Amino acid sequence: MARSFANRLKGLPAPATIEMARRARALKAEGKPVISLALGEPDFATPPAVVEAAHQAALAGQTKYPPVDGTPALKAAIARKFTRENGLDYKPEEIMVSNGGKQVIFNAFMATLNAGDEVVVPTPYWVSYPLIARMFGATPVYVSCREEDGFRLKADELAKVLTSRTRWVVLNFPNNPTGGVCSADDLRAIAEVLRQYPDIWILSDEIYEHLVFDGAKSASIAAVAPDLKDRTITLNGVSKAYAMTGWRVGFAGGPADLIATMRGVQGNATSGVCSIAQAAAAAALDGPADLVQEMVATYGRRRRMVVEALRAIPGFTCAMPDGAFYAYPGVAGCLGRTTAAGKRLETDHDFALALLEEAFVATVPGSAFGHSPYLRLSCATADETLQEACQRIAQFVEGLQ
């Protein structure tokens, strides 16, 4: 058999986050004492009341095919959430529920992109935006967010990369991997630029909106610039804020025509999201905010501890993130040197690989997020584990020649 695969997938790498986690697991299976800070997954448990809501939904017979775009109960909870937390009113036909936020992006891009279109993605970026865009023949175009700007997107930088081919602009603040948060004023300036391009769709990925620290405030572009709401997809989900990564519930608010087209895509791909998970997500959105508060306090404390430990390592720089649960240290000062095992470190990828193989700490190199030389460390793990990881990184760097 001539084993051929779709041209649209040619040259697409596997996300480096998943690749590093795979290597870490392989070393662990060999009995090595691996600490993995590679994946972005809360270490909290899903709140018991949410699990109980799923249990009750299953017992009550909510076990049939759900509507493709979400159960009426979850859509109502999502509408309440958008009104309460974002100042955004969406009607039921302007809301859709997908298999994680990731499927929202997949649906939206599949519904709109043609070969040759451009998708503007600020760097550092979450790995999936450019990969999904490329699956549909579009070209990712990058705009840099700098460490000295707190990794916020500057409107004048965005203006430089927009063209008549731009179909989407992706905004992801609080940002994965940097934790950068754009203020309402930043978004107002960005909106001013976008007004000059009425044919561009806007993807506002707000999945980390609750995870902000030290008074930082996340804002929704559709609320800050209501005239852009009819071309904005406001994306969110329960994975990060409610420690529900495995339940696979993401959602979006957006204009009815785009949502209807996305529903068509999803109807032919996966149909509606697991009915029981949708009941759980509704309980999470309508439930008390205590767990979110507890997580924010914990992540805020841990990220300070990690950033301070990393800043003390010679050759490292590290901005204090305003949001999300990652640290994104710069490692430029460690490149060009050789590890204790004789590996020369030319890139952040070399650094991350050697750190994993010699100190058994799994991180993700900045190259995976389009912004080098940096590393991403997830702070969503126990304090002692983070302390041990930072000590190992410090020792590893001390051993560089």
State the residues that interact with ligand PLP by CB under 6 A. Answer: 40, 100-102, 126, 172, 176, 205, 207, 237, 239, 245, 250
Smallest distance from the beta carbon of 207 to ligand PLP, in angstroms?
Answer: 4
Give whichever of 112 and 176 is closer to ligand PLP, judged by the CB atom.
176
Residue 331 has what DSSP assignment? -
Token pair 């309402």 in the structure block, residue? 184
Structural contact between residues 180 and 321, judged by C-beta atoms closer than 8 angstroms: yes
- CA distances (Å), origin 244, targets 99, 240, 374: 12, 7, 28
Give whichever of 281 and 306 is closer to ligand PLP, judged by the CB atom.
281
Token pair 């930082």 in the structure block, residue? 216
Q: Which of 378, 365, 374, 382 is nearest to 16 (CA)?
A: 365
Q: Inter-axis angle of helices 16-29 and 348-359, to 10 degrees?
A: 20
Give whichever of 150 and 174 is closer to ligand PLP, judged by the CB atom.
174
Smallest distance from the beta carbon of 131 to ligand PLP, in angstroms?
Answer: 13
The bridge status of strand 375-378 relative to strand 364-365 is: antiparallel
Phi and psi torsions of 217, nearest 5°: -130, 130
How far apart (Å, rounded) are the C-alpha atoms in residues 251 and 262?
A: 12
Smallest distance from the beta carbon of 211 to ligand PLP, in angstroms?
Answer: 11
Give whichever of 101 and 272 is closer to ligand PLP, judged by the CB atom.
101
Smallest distance from the beta carbon of 50 to ligand PLP, in angstroms?
Answer: 15
Give whichever of 211 and 345 is closer to ligand PLP, judged by the CB atom.
211
Smallest distance from the beta carbon of 181 to ligand PLP, in angstroms?
Answer: 13
Tokens of 94: 């302007």
DSSP bridge partners of 122: 143
Sign, CA dihedral 101-106-111-116, equals positive
DSSP string, 291-325: HHHHHHHHHHHHHHHHHHHHHTSTT-B----SBTT
Give whichever of 68 and 207 is closer to ligand PLP, judged by the CB atom.
207
Give whichever of 176 and 232 is closer to ligand PLP, judged by the CB atom.
176
Give whichever of 97 and 354 is closer to ligand PLP, judged by the CB atom.
97
Structural contact between residues 37 and 17, judged by C-beta atoms closer than 8 angstroms: no
Smallest distance from the beta carbon of 243 to ligand PLP, in angstroms?
Answer: 11
How far apart (Å, rounded) are the C-alpha atoms in residues 369 and 177?
A: 7
In Å, the largest CA–CA distance within the chain is: 64
Smallest distance from the beta carbon of 172 to ligand PLP, in angstroms?
Answer: 5
Give whichever of 40 and 272 is closer to ligand PLP, judged by the CB atom.
40
Sign, CA dihedral 165-152-96-230, equals negative
* Closest residue to ligand PLP, based on beta-carbon distance: 100
Give whichever of 207 and 355 is closer to ligand PLP, judged by the CB atom.
207
DSSP bridge partners of 361: 35
DSSP string, 76-118: HHHHHHIIIII-----GGGEEEESSHHHHHHHHHHHH--TT-E
Phi and psi torsions of 384, nearest 5°: -65, -35
